[in-house]
Structure 1
Amino acid sequence: MTDTVVIALPYFLADAGKVASFLGAEVAEFTPEIFPEAFRSRKRIVALMSMGIVVRKIAPLIRDKWTDPAVVVISPDFRYAVPVLGGHHGANDLVKELTGLGLIPVITTATESRGRDSVESVADRTGTDVINRDSTRSVNAALLERDLPIHSIGGPSMVIAGPDVSILVRRGTYSIGIGCRKGTGEEEIKQAVRSALSENGISISDVFVYATTDKKLHETGLVAAVRALSGNLIFLDDETINAQTGTGPSRASKIGLPGVAAPCALATSRYKELIMEKKVYGRVTVAIAR
């Protein structure tokens, strides 16, 4: 199965075949169930049919622009390619790719339609992901008016940034939430993390970020452990942690939190899916999400 599918009404299947061949994709004839199935299993969806059909079919499926597939409509006259969903997340690039078939791209995202960078395009270009995704609204709005500085900071280092600063880190799949008792040493934390990753068949190179509560800001053992693991450590405030649900009981209730490891892993993950619930390793707790 490829990550791209071309969905077409019966009378557009010939054109769908051309598109699929060009993209290295698969063709699927339109059925009432096809869009829910494609949303679950594909990263890119191309539809040969009217925009209205597509909008009605995908509306109940839309969850999050960071995880939904890119959706593009090709007009029935085979002239235009229009991003419908996920412009900054693959759809704009897809319609540009389709110019190779003579299609005219119709891009409506504000930054790209004006020839400006977006946070997401910078992330794609640099092979990074955005941690604080809510920041992209204000940063992209500012990019419409002017160029913004991009600061590249090598490690080991710490960054304290405001809500209008987008933070980009190397790409990875998994977010690791870490809790620890006060004064826990670097070696114990490193061993706990390595054990959790090994038990779940995860390579350390597949880790996106490590996250904990900002109450651990001065835990030198935790900071040193993540540095030794060549990772990025994110400190989350109480509001962010308390917004997470379904993480189970925790000793962290003593400090007014529903937990540390599991909610921190979920808060920084892409798909909000716990791979490993909180597990205790001595004085360290670890949870894994993606």
Structure 2
Amino acid sequence: MEELFREYDMILALMAVGIVVRQVCPLLRDKWTDKPVVAVDSALKTAVPVIGGHHGANDLALYLFKHLGIYPAITTATDSSGRPNLEGIASAFGSEIVNRDASKHINASFLYQDVPIVRLRGPRIVIVDKDVAVLKSSGLIAGLGARKGATADEILSAVRSATAEAGRDVSEVRVIATSEIKSCDPEISRAAAKLGVSVVYLPDDALNAQKPLTPSRASMLGLSGVAEPAVLALAQRMILPKKVYGRVTVALGE
């Protein structure tokens, strides 16, 4: 097991959880560097993420469920409650968690409330408490506005067209950002799932705090806009002002 920990990114152990625990315990250092470990019983009925749930083990268990029908016995609190977690959000943004100790406080808070995501632009000095997580991000933010009836395929096509116009690849998109008004639109979720990214639904005050580059029909809804303000709220800079692709509007930032 020690050799496996050195050579591989994650471990799928076809053995009882008790055996896995005894083998890996002497090798564990901290949750940020320990390799994800999933134990699967010999009958291929259950996959148990033992170590590194938020660092790949839960995803591996879900992959086994999707492709082999093995039940994913996920025990991390946020995942089993269907709630977000800090590590997942950082991954969606392609970000590094600067103050990792904050993860315990943030993930505990996610169990009973939505934790806001705030972008601060410098130069400035920021002092944070231990329950505030600081992320250093990279990758593209796709600000999205979609008219009623826009399908997941239309959304995907629009995002691909926007990234191509910006001279970037669609694989660089880390997150789709839109208004919380669209949180009940399943087509946006489907499009994001096909891209393998998360969706951030921003409240009205977060969008209206931004100054979009171009006028928007969203003013009829009391918003300064959707696509551009969503990018400005989360990205460091706009790289593609909003473009309209049929029933979908996309802006890009990074």
For residue 97 of structure 1, the aligned residue among 43, 57, 63 is 63
Aligned residues: 137
For residue 12 of structure 2, the aligned residue among 24, 27, 46 is 46
Aligned equivalent of 1:64? 30
Q: Which runs of 5+ in 2 are unaligned?
A: 139-254
Deviating beyond 3 angstroms after TM superposition, the runs of 4 or more aligned structure 1 residues are 154-158
> For residues 1-290 of structure 1, what are the structure 2 equivalents within 5 Å?
35-99=1-65, 100-170=67-137
Q: Name the SS for the 2:38 alignment partner.
A: strand
Aligned mates of 1:43, 1:71 — CA distance in 2? 9
Q: Name the SS for the 2:127 alignment partner.
A: coil
Amino acid paired to 1:158: I
Q: Which runs of 5+ in 1 are unaligned?
A: 1-34, 172-290
Q: Name the SS for the 2:48 alignment partner.
A: strand
TM superposition shift of 1:63? 0.5
TM superposition shift of 1:60? 0.4
More displaced 10-residue stretch of structure 1: 42-51 or 150-159? 150-159
Amino acid paired to 1:85: I
Aligned mates of 1:158, 1:43 — CA distance in 2? 36
Note if contact 1:43-1:68 (Cα within 8 Å) is conserved in structure 2. Answer: no
Whose radius of gyration is greater, 1 or 2? 1
1:216-248 CA distance string (max 9 Å, x none):
xxxxxxxxxxxxxxxxxxxxxxxxxxxxxxxxx
Aligned equivalent of 2:155? none
Amino acid paired to 1:76: S
- Superposition TM-score, scaled by structure 2 size: 0.52
TM superposition shift of 1:156? 3.7
TM superposition shift of 1:85? 0.1
Aligned mates of 1:93, 1:159 — CA distance in 2? 33
Q: Comparing both chains, which one has the higher relative contact order based on Cα–Cα distances under 8 Å and sequence gaps of 6 or more?
A: 2
Q: Name the SS for the 2:74 alignment partner.
A: coil
